[in-house]
Amino acid sequence: MARFRTRLALLGSAAALAAGAVVPAQFGGAQPAAAADRQWVALGDSYTAGVIPAAGDVFEVPRDGCERTDQAYPQVIDRDLGSLFDLTNVSCGAATIEDVTDMAQEPIGRHLPPLSEDPDYPFPAVPPQSVAVGPGTDVITVGAGGNTLGFADILRKCPELGQGSGGVGTPCKDALAAGIPARLNKVSQEYDRMLTVLHERAPHAKILAVGYPTIVPKDTSKCRYNDLTQFGSITQGDLDWLRQDVLEPLNKTIEKSTGTQEAAGFVDLYDSSQNHSVCDSGKWVEGFITAPDQLSFVHPNARGHRNAANHVEAAMLNTLG
């Protein structure tokens, strides 16, 4: 247990440093015989990129450190709709909204010393994800906001604050709740600006803003205290707070920003994943670890990405008119 807590703390610290973008390139499954008519660019953070082993294998050679996986929803959709949409996937693990919009960064890959020394580290700096978007882009999918909110940092602190509590109380809420409105306001402002920049770069493109799935169940009694395949030592009260005051408002903030742009639409993943949280037996999001010892740090697995693909595909097909 102590070993896993050490890994968790290190992963949480490292997640805040991850990069945001790559040089535009085609990353697909099997390619169609003829080029697709419509150009699609996939932007976003680790909930788009995949990053964890439960979301498939990292497939790029050479690696760029963003850790896109072959079961992540852009790649699933590419296999389903590759004859209609030509994919450029520049999503990147732990990207912030600014990483999508205009910040160059340095990916860390799997360099998590002392647990993991990535042989390809350090990775070259990469440009903002938005450079993959241009006048010829027809569809943009973007899933971002969680890292601007600082969700990885919250996930690192809540178990620390909950240790020794026996699962009782709301130590994380007590410590962090006062700062959440400002974090959400930052998400709102940066999301509005990102959508504006994307529309300026691709005036004719439909922008599909992809929300976050259900992570914490409505019934948090399902969640076992000190179980690292779920939320470790986060208390039940803090899980209720995370759902009601952090995660659900994050989705609402993204949806509201999307509503300010005529060219944008919101893809809701929350309702369809209600019974597939980290604490459900048929989970679509992994906990801090995937048994026996794979670091997952609360990310969607392949089933979660398949669900995302279903909803994003439907929205993309609607753009065909």
Give the predicted TM-score (pTM) of the model.
0.88
Q: Is 214 in contact with 147 (CB distance < 8 Å)?
A: no
Q: Is 278 in contact with 286 (CB distance < 8 Å)?
A: yes
Summarize pLDDT for 13-49 with one digit per residue, the tens.
333 323 333 333 333 443 444 567 899 999 999 999 9
Strand partners, 39: 86
Strand partners, 267: 210
Pairing of strands 289-290, 294-295: antiparallel
Portion of the chain with pLDDT greater than 90, in percent: 78
Summarize pLDDT for 220-279 with one digit per residue, the tens.
999 999 999 999 999 999 999 999 999 999 999 999 999 999 999 999 999 999 999 999
